[in-house]
C-alpha cells in the first residue's frame, strides 16, 4: 500500500506494509481511545490557515503549495522543516501560536463528536495534539468539546508527530499498554505516529479536501460510529449507517 505524505514541503509516496486488516478495529475491544484534535475532533482549518497564510506571505512562501503541508505537526516542526535562513523556529512558532490564540473564528466540533465522547469513560480517553496546551484548550472551548482528564500537547514531548512519543506518553498517563489503544487521526503525521507507537489507527476524513490513500479503517465523522462499553470497561466500536 502506498501512502502519500509531505516531506520538506513536497508530496512523496511511501510504501507501507500492514499486517492487520482495516476491519480489525471493529472486531476488537480496547482499553483506551486516543484522539488527535484538529481535523479529528474539531475543524479548525479555516482559522489555522488564515494565520499560517499570513505568516507564509510575510516570509515569501507560496501559500497555495505550503498550506496543505502544515497540518498535523507542531508549529515549531513545520517552521524548522522549511529551513528558512535567519529564522528561529521556536520564536516563529511562538508568534504563530499567539496569533492562533486570537483567531478561533469558525472552529466547530465534527458532527457527532461531542455525543461520541460523552459515551466514553472519562479515565479511558485522551487528546493527543500537536497544538500547545493553551491553544488546545481555547479551540476545544470554542468548539464546545469537553476537556478530557488527560491531554498530551506540543510542549509535552521533545519531538512531535510523526514521532510516536506523544501517543506512547498518552498511554502511559492512562495506565494502559499502547497496543491496547485505538488512535483516531486525520493527518499523515499523526497516522504515522500511531503506527510507530504500536496502536491501531482509525482515520477520520470529515475535513479532508482530497482523498487519502490508506490501509487503515476510515469513517467520515462520528455519526458513523457507536461505542459499546463492556462490563469490564473495555470499549468496542460499531459502524452506524447514516442516510
Lowest mean pLDDT among 2-16, 97-111, 214-228: 2-16
Q: Residue 109's pLDDT is what? A: 97
pTM: 0.83
Q: What is the pLDDT at residue 211?
A: 77
pLDDT band at 14 (very low <50, low <70, confident <90, very high): very low
C-alpha 180/C-alpha 199 separation (Å) is: 7
Confidence of residue 17 (pLDDT cuts 50, 70, 90): very low
**Span 120-139, mean pLDDT?**
96
pLDDT at 243: 66
Identified catalytic residue from 36, 77, 103, 221: 36
CA 136 to chain centre: 12
d(CA 188, CA 5): 6
Residues 49-61 pLDDT 10s: 898 898 898 889 9
pLDDT at position 12 is: 35
CATH of domain 2-43+107-239: 3.40.50.1000
Model confidence at 210: pLDDT above 90: no
Average confidence (pLDDT) over 97-126? 94
Question: Averaged over 191-219, what is the pLDDT?
Answer: 91
CA–CA separation, 199 and 191 (whole Å): 10
Give the CA angle between residues 134, 80, 12 to the nearest 5°.
Answer: 110
Active site residue 38: yes
Among residues 152, 147, 150, 139, which one has the least CA distance to residue 118?
Answer: 147
Residue range 199-213: mean pLDDT, rounded: 89
Eight-class DSSP state of 210 = S
Annotated catalytic residue 200 = no
Nearest to 25 by CA among 206, 232, 199: 199
Rounded to the nearest integer, the mean pLDDT of the chain is 88
Boundaries of every domain in the chain = 2-43+107-239, 45-102
E strands within the chain? Answer: 2-7, 10-15, 32-35, 42-43, 108-109, 125-128, 150-152, 181-185, 200-204, 217-219, 225-229, 235-239
Q: Catalytic residue among 38, 186, 200, 221, which?
A: 38
Query: What integer pLDDT is reported at residue 37 of this predicted model?
Result: 97
Is residue 82's pLDDT more than 50? yes
The CA distance from 90 to 70, in Å, is: 15
Instruction: Identify the pLDDT of residue 29.
Output: 97
pLDDT band at 172 (very low <50, low <70, confident <90, very high): very high
Residue 21 — very low, low, confident or very high, per pLDDT cuts 50/70/90? low
Amino acid at each position: 500500500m502506498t501512502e502519500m505524505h509531505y516531506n520538506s514541503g513536497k508530496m512523496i509516496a511511501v510504501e507501507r506494509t500492514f499486517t492487520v486488516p482495516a476491519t480489525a478495529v471493529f472486531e476488537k475491544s480496547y482499553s483506551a481511545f486516543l484522539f488527535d484534535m484538529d481535523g479529528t475532533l474539531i475543524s479548525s482549518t479555516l482559522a489555522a490557515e488564515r494565520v499560517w497564510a499570513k505568516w507564509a506571505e510575510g516570509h515569501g512562501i507560496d501559500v497555495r503549495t505550503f498550506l496543505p503541508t502544515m497540518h498535523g505537526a507542531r508549529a515549531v516542526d513545520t517552521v524548522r522543516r522549511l529551513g528558512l535562513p535567519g529564522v528561529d523556529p521556536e520564536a516563529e512558532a511562538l508568534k504563530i501560536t499567539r496569533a492562533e490564540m486570537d483567531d478561533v473564528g469558525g472552529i466547530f466540533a465534527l458532527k457527532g463528536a461531542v455525543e461520541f465522547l460523552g459515551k466514553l469513560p472519562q479515565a479511558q480517553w485522551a487528546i493527543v495534539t500537536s497544538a500547545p496546551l493553551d491553544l488546545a484548550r481555547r479551540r476545544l472551548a470554542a468548539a464546545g468539546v469537553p476537556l478530557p482528564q488527560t491531554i498530551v500537547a506540543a510542549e509535552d514531548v521533545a519531538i512531535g508527530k510523526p514521532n510516536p512519543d506523544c501517543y506512547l506518553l498518552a498511554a502511559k498517563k492512562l495506565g494502559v499498554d499502547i497496543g491496547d489503544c485505538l488512535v483516531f487521526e486525520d493527518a499523515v503525521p499523526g497516522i504515522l505516529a500511531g503506527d510507530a507507537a504500536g496502536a491501531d489507527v482509525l482515520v477520520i476524513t470529515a475535513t479532508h479536501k482530497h482523498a487519502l490513500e490508506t490501509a487503515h479503517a476510515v469513517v467520515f465523522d462520528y455519526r458513523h460510529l457507536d461505542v459499546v462499553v463492556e462490563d469490564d470497561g473495555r470499549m468496542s466500536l460499531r459502524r452506524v449507517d447514516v442516510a
